[in-house]
Each structure stands twice: as C-alpha cells, then as structure tokens.
Structure 1
Amino acid sequence: MRQQVMAALWRIALAAALVCGIGLLPWLTRTDPALTVLKARSADRDPTPEVLAGIRDQLGLDDGPLHLLGRWLGGLAEGDAGRSWISGAAVAPDVLRALGASLLLMAAAIVVAVLTAGLVCVRTLRRGARRRLGTGRRGGTASAMLASLPEFLVASLLATVVGVQLGWLPALGWYGPRWTVLPALALGLPAGAVLGRLLDDLLPGAFREPWAVAAAARGLTGRRIARQAVRRCVPALLPNLGLFAVGLTGGAVAVEQIFDVPGLGRTTLQAALAQDLPVLQAGTLALVLLAAVVTGVTRLAARLLTGPALRDGALPTLHRPAPPARSTTPLVLAALLTTVVALGLPRDPLAVHTGERLRAPSPAHPFGTDALGRDLLARVGQGALDTLLQALSVSAAALVAGVLLGLLPRLSGPLVDTVNAVPPVLLALLVTAVAGSGAATPALAVATVAWAPLAAHTASLLAQERATLHVLAARGMGASRRHLMRRELLPAILPPVTRHALLRLPGVALVLASLGFLGLGAQPPSPEWGLLLAENQPYAERAPWAVLAPAAVLALLGALAVTAAGGVRRPRRRPPGPAALPVPDRAETARELAGAR
C-alpha cells in the first residue's frame, strides 16, 4: 500500500511539473507573449506599444507567470479551465470535443493495429501450431519496411492515392465513420507492424514451453494452442500497447493535420505555436490523465492474464538461449544501402537546374529530381551519413537509458507515462526553449522521448523474468541479487530490448531530420532525409518519385535494422566439461546402498 501511495505521489509531482513548465513556456522562449497572441489574433495589425499593453492588461501578463498559473489552477479546482487567449471561448468544451475525436480515432487505429499485428504473426502461429518452429528468420521483410514508415508519409500516400486519385474514401474532414478509415489506417498500420514484430519475437518461446508440448501430446488442436500462446505473450506487450494508445491520441499531430481531424494532438500543438496557455495546459493535462488511466488498465489486464503465476514465481521463461539466426538478407540489404549512398556521394546535392524540375527517374538522374531540379540520388546519398550517425548515437543513448530506468520500474513507470503523454513536437518546443536552437537540439529533443518505450519493455520483461522458475531456483540456492541480475535477468532482457531499439532506429532517423523542418535543427537546403520527405510531400501527386525515393531508402534502412536484429539472441550456455562435474566416491556410494538395504 505504501508503494502505491508513493507511486501516486510521484505521478502527481511529475504531472504538476509538466503543467508548470508549460505555463512558463512563453517566458522560457524569451519571447513576448502579447506579441505572439496578437499575431495569432490578427496578423495584419501593427504591434504598437499601445496595442501590446492592452493585450497584457487584458490577459494579466504583467502579473507574471506564477500568478497566471495559480489563477488557472484555482479555476480548475472549480471546474473552469479558463478561456482561450486567442478566441475568448471557454477552454473545457473545446478540449473535451477534441478529446472525443482523438479517442474515436485511437479506438479505430488500435483495431487496425491489432489486425496488422495478427497478419505479421500468422506465419509463426501456423508453424508453432504444427510444431515446426526453427531458429530462422521470422516476421518477413515487408513488416519491417512497414514498421519503419512514418505515419505522416503513410497518411499522405493514402490521402493522395485512395482519397484523391481513386476516390474510394473521403480524404479530408471529420463528419462520420467513413472519414475515420484513412486516418486509422495511417496510424494503425505502422503501429501494428511494430507490435507484430514484438509479438513475433516472443511466440517461439511460448510454443516451446512445457504446457504447449503437453497440449500437443494430448491432441489439442493447433488453433487452441496458438490462442493460448498469444495469451501467454500478450502481458509482456501490454505496456507497449498502452504507450501506443496514448501516442495515437497525443502524437497523431501530423495525421490529424493532413486529414483535418479536430483531435487533441492538433489542438495542443496549435495552442503551443500560438502560445495560447489555457488551451495548451488543459490539453496537456487531459493527455496526462488519459495516460494514467490507460496505464492502470494495461497493468490490471496484465495481472489478470498472467494470474497468480506472476506472484508465485511459476512462469517459464520466454527467452530461451538460442543460436543466432543465419540469414544472408541483412548482407544483401546492407549492400543495397551502401550502393545507394556510394552512388550519391560523388554528385552535387545543391546544384539547382530549373529546367529539369520534377524530372522522372532516368539514367542521368536514377531517383529523379525535386522541385528545384536537384538530383535526388545526390541528396539521399549526402544526407545519409549525418542522419545515420546521429540516429545511431541517439538510439544507443536511448537503449542505455531505457534499460537502466526500466530496471527501476517504480521510478520510471510514472515518468514513462508522463513523457509519452505529451506530443513529441511539444516536447521538442520545450527542449528548445530551455536549451536553445542548435545542431544538438534535435538529438536532445528525440533522446528525451526515445527511451520511454524501451524502458516500458524492459520493466515488463523484468517483471515476467523475475517470476520464472529458474530465477526462483537460483534464489533458493542462495544466489545474490548481483548474480541474479548479471547471469539470469540481464541475459534474458537485453536481446529483445536491443531488437526493439533496432526496430525503432529508422523512426529515430526520420524524427531527427524532420525537426529541422520546424526550425529546430538542420535547415534547407540541407539534404537530410526528413527534410527531403517534407519538401517533396506537396508534389506527391504530380511527381511521386520525389517522395518514394527517400521513403524507399528509409524503408530499406528499417528492413536492414530489423533483419539484423534477428542475430541478437541470448547465447546458449556451454554444458560443464568433465573437469567441472563432481566425481562420485565409489566407497561412499557402496556404504549408502548398504545402509538403504
């Protein structure tokens, strides 16, 4: 009970710190809030000293941020979230409407994600049900490429092809169920591919457990065994599913912007850009409360699915030692990626040829040209080195931080929920306000959030592994905590978490580059991959190769990262040699047999 109270207090303190930090955002950015509000209200009006003074007096800005924050919290206790600085309308009704739209979109996206995850795992489920599991490659390269694609790119392709060119579904607005399909697909397909890869990583261990062998020997159908295997693996994935659910609500800013969905993420980001503090604080608080509810539900579901085995230490481990998978696919993909980069490096990525704007791929320009006539192969090749090195550095730092914090679940659990509840772009704005804009700002902003899913995965695997039979036996034999952590827990946790980090590497690379488009890092004409996608997205219908070329290279990186992750396995322990085995004393054995008679 005491631990639960401390965790609740820690969660409340984090939420209060986040809300207070957002309340100080205009002053942290060292900008005049009155000037920002005036631009949002009327961009044509001159910012004269009299006009700015009137806005400060109307909003009470001269009283300082602490007075504003106290007044907002006092009104919140009475059910009043204040009024918008821009429109003057009450904040609570608008935030609740946006929350309802986001929850509906989240529910539809989760359905798509679950179905996609099932399709990714269908091959492993069939092979496991037939008892034909091996140690080879699983999951497929297609799911790896799908998992590496960003949501806004999937949304742009769906809106352009399905919504505009084919006209099958509406691509703009929010007026009914038909308008929910394309945004749900854009959010659910990449998320489902990631969840499917994580589930596919656990299923072989479940099919090799004693209960599965006994069920097959008793003649149970393969379908029933497969269902129980999924049920066995789902508790380890529920924390990540909760993170996805909250991320689909607050982190769906780009998708909501493309499809014109009035969701909470878009509302919060617009309020942050306009420095509309009452809307921003109310939206952030709603996201934090939603994260707390979702986390509580996922933890309760995990306990119900696992049963008393988690408490009694009666679980078998899902991460049995296995030899690395032998496959030439990573080598082939690495060779393709290296070839693309090598062919692009000698070319000039900044040479502008206005007469060759949006040229289709040709021998002179294998990837075509962009809207300024610049060679896309040159821009992809030149942008690869900086993008990949920075992404690898951030991913490695996120992996280390995620594992270390995941080993302390009481400390990291509420912190993960709070960090994941805030849209990444909003966190980037907060980091920029504190650290300033510069070359290291995107890396710092991405590293602030990239560790959260890895920490949740580590904490979930740690809870499962601590309840296994071999750890219980090691405790009974007097093993110390250090020995358990070094020889039993970490060897089982590190390989799957490392594979998870590799799975997220392309997404980290894209987010790093995309922040430059928002003025937080690299600026045009820098040939970073995220900037290539953002710059060429308006021409996707007229010149699809301008978007497909960098997207294909990004998908190639995702497939390489995921297939290479298949070789990260827990090594098998060698059996002790003859010198290590105890040699029985024949005389003592004879005396024991005589006494037994």
Structure 2
Amino acid sequence: MRPTGWLAVAWLALLAVLALTADVLPIAAYDAPAGPPAQPPFSTFPEFLGTDGIGRSVLSRLVHGTQISLLVGLGATVTACVLGSLLGLLSAYLRGAVQEVVGVVTDSILAFPPLLLLLALAAVARPGVGTLVLSLGVLFLPPFARIARAAALGQLSRTYVLAARAMGAGHGRLMFRELLPNTVAPVASYAVVMMALMIVVEGSLSFLGVGIPPPSPSWGAMIAEGKDFLYTAPYLVLVPCVVIFLTVLSFNTVGERLRERLSGGETR
C-alpha cells in the first residue's frame, strides 16, 4: 500500500486498541468531573485534552466514545452485509418470485428518507446500541443486496458453476460453496467504506439527541454538548470533529485500497 494506506491502517488500529482497553486505561471516568469546567488542553496530565463544560474529561469521553462508534459501525455493517448479501444471493440464484420479493423489499427501504426513518425508529424503540445497530443494519442492506446480486449474476455462467451443476451439486452447495466465495471481494471492499458512513450516521443521530442516550459518551453527543462553548472553548467541538474526520477518511482510504487489491480477483 501507499503511505496514506498505512497511515489509515495505523489510525484505525489505534482506535481499535483504545476501544478494547478503554476500561483499563489510567484515565478518569467519563461520567464524573475530573477537574474545573472548560479546562483548556495540555493543562494537566493525563487529561491532556482538557475538560468539558461540567468538568468531565474530554480524553476519557473521547476514548469511551470510540467504543460506541466502532461497535455501532461494525455491528450495523455486519448486519447489513449479512442480510443484504443473503438476499442478493437468493435473488440472483432463484430468480422468479424470490427476485420480485427481494426487489420490493429493497425498493421499499430505499423509498423512505433515511434520516426520517431513523428518527421514527428512535421515537418508537428504546434508544441504545442494539437499536441503532439493528436500525442501521436494516436501513443500509439494499446496497449490499444489489452488489451481491450483481456479483452472483456475473458468476452464474462461469465454467466452475456449470461444472458443479453438471456433477449434481445441490442448490445449497451452488449458492454457498460456489457463488458466495466469489461475491466476497466487492462486498468486503464496500463494507469497509460503509463503516465510515455508519459512524457518521451514528454521530448525526447522537448530535440530534436520538442516538446513544446520556451519560454514555458519543462523538456526536460531544459535538452537541460543546457547541454552546464554541467561542469560549472551541476545542470541545474541534477534537471530536477531527477524530470523526480522520476515522472516516481512514475507512474510505482502506476501502479504496482493498477494492484496488480485490478488483478482478476470485477465489478460483
């Protein structure tokens, strides 16, 4: 990979380590005051990012917010990827009525404005990580279904599929042993990019107050809480914004590099 790719991987690896070790790091609790309100960065150590408007550690809330953002991004992406890929594979292989039903389901989901649908789901369901993961997973499964269907259709006429069918392979083997492995490449590269979108959507919902409920930290909620101090303590907005920017950029960079490596590649 190019240097930008390695930098993106390094940043994502750092976030993963912080998310996994957040509870054992020698930092203050994210929901308790750690010093005077709006203490500027680099005033104390290890709370070198300062404190928010009520004295909570910005570093601690940022680190624990990494747990939530990565958990929601990964969980929602895996949910959308698994459900969408399965629907796309069934649609491409079975055709007929199954293709029509899958088309109606995906088109119906795409017909709703995403933000309005998420706000409606947040209003009727109990807010939390599980609700966000399931809601985002269902909302963003249509792109995965279309990518998996297109990839499977391109493989149905290949020699190895025809040979397996001629040898008496059943539907399950043809779908999950022959077609599925050769649809992984485009789906995997898109999934990495989709994780960036999931993190942005989660941050947007938390900013609007319908995402992760307080006092659990979230990057979007940190921006919402810091906007009232934008002129007196701009770092309260700048720090989570920079982290979101670097994370989304890194996921997009890794996804693009992965697409370049996997494009045209097959498992056979």
Q: Say if 1:463 and 1:345 are closer, same or farther in 2 by CA, change over 3 A.
A: farther
Deviations 1:428-449 (CA, angstroms, capped at 9, x unpaired): 2433455x32434333322230
Give the drift of 1:497.
0.6
Query: Within the alignment, does 1:359 sit opposite 2:40 as a pair?
Result: yes
Give the drift of 1:360.
4.1
Q: Which position in structure 2 is the counterpart of 1:350?
A: 31
List runs of 5+ in structure 1 lacking aligned partners: 1-136, 142-326, 574-597
What is the alpha-carbon distance in structure 1 between the residues aligned to residue 117 and residue 43 of structure 2? Answer: 42
1:26-37 alignment to 2 at 5 Å?
A: none
1:175-254 alignment to 2 at 5 Å?
A: none
Q: Which position in structure 2 is the counterpart of 1:255?
A: none
Aligned residues: 249
1:147-546 alignment to 2 at 5 Å?
A: 330=9, 332-338=10-16, 342=21, 346-352=27-33, 355-357=36-38, 359-362=40-43, 364=45, 365-409=47-91, 410=99, 411-432=101-122, 434=124, 436-439=125-128, 440-467=130-157, 469-470=158-159, 474=163, 477=166, 480=169, 481-537=171-227, 539-540=229-230, 543-546=233-236
What is the alpha-carbon distance in structure 2 between the residues aligned to residue 541 and residue 493 of structure 1? Answer: 50
What is the alpha-carbon distance in structure 2 between the residues aligned to residue 572 and residue 441 of structure 1? Answer: 36
What is the alpha-carbon distance in structure 2 between the residues aligned to residue 502 and residue 477 of structure 1? Answer: 36
Give the drift of 1:456.
2.0
Q: Say if 1:455 and 1:335 are closer, same or farther in 2 by CA, change over 3 A.
A: closer
Residue 462 of structure 1 contacts residue 493 of structure 1 at CA under 8 Å; is this kept in 2? yes
Amino acid at match of 1:563: V
Give the drift of 1:407.
1.8
Amino-acid identity (%): 29
SS of the equivalent of 2:140 reads helix
Q: Say if 1:476 and 1:431 are closer, same or farther in 2 by CA, change over 3 A.
A: closer
List runs of 5+ in structure 2 lacking aligned partners: 92-98
Give the drift of 1:328.
8.6
Kindly report the root-mean-square deviation, in angstroms, between the aligned alpha carbons of the 2 structures: 3.8
Give the drift of 1:362.
4.7
| TM-score when normalising by structure 1 | 0.36
Residue 532 of structure 1 contacts residue 550 of structure 1 at CA under 8 Å; is this kept in 2? yes
Residue 348 of structure 1 contacts residue 378 of structure 1 at CA under 8 Å; is this kept in 2? yes
Amino acid at match of 2:258: G
What is the alpha-carbon distance in structure 2 between the residues aligned to residue 521 and residue 339 of structure 1? Answer: 24
Deviations 1:412-434 (CA, angstroms, capped at 9, x unpaired): 22322221232223212433455
Amino acid at match of 2:11: L
Residue 127 of structure 2 contacts residue 213 of structure 2 at CA under 8 Å; is this kept in 1? no
What is the alpha-carbon distance in structure 2 between the residues aligned to residue 328 and residue 477 of structure 1? Answer: 48
Q: Say if 1:535 and 1:413 are closer, same or farther in 2 by CA, change over 3 A.
A: farther
Q: Say if 1:407 and 1:571 are closer, same or farther in 2 by CA, change over 3 A.
A: closer
**Higher RCO structure, 1 or 2 (CA under 8 Å, sep 6+):** 2
Q: Which position in structure 1 is the counterpart of 2:254?
A: 563
Give the drift of 1:363.
5.2
What is the alpha-carbon distance in structure 2 between the residues aligned to residue 487 and residue 139 of structure 1? Answer: 36
Amino acid at match of 2:14: L
What is the alpha-carbon distance in structure 1 between the residues aligned to residue 119 and residue 173 of structure 2? Answer: 43
Residue 370 of structure 1 contacts residue 546 of structure 1 at CA under 8 Å; is this kept in 2? yes
Residue 406 of structure 1 contacts residue 457 of structure 1 at CA under 8 Å; is this kept in 2? yes
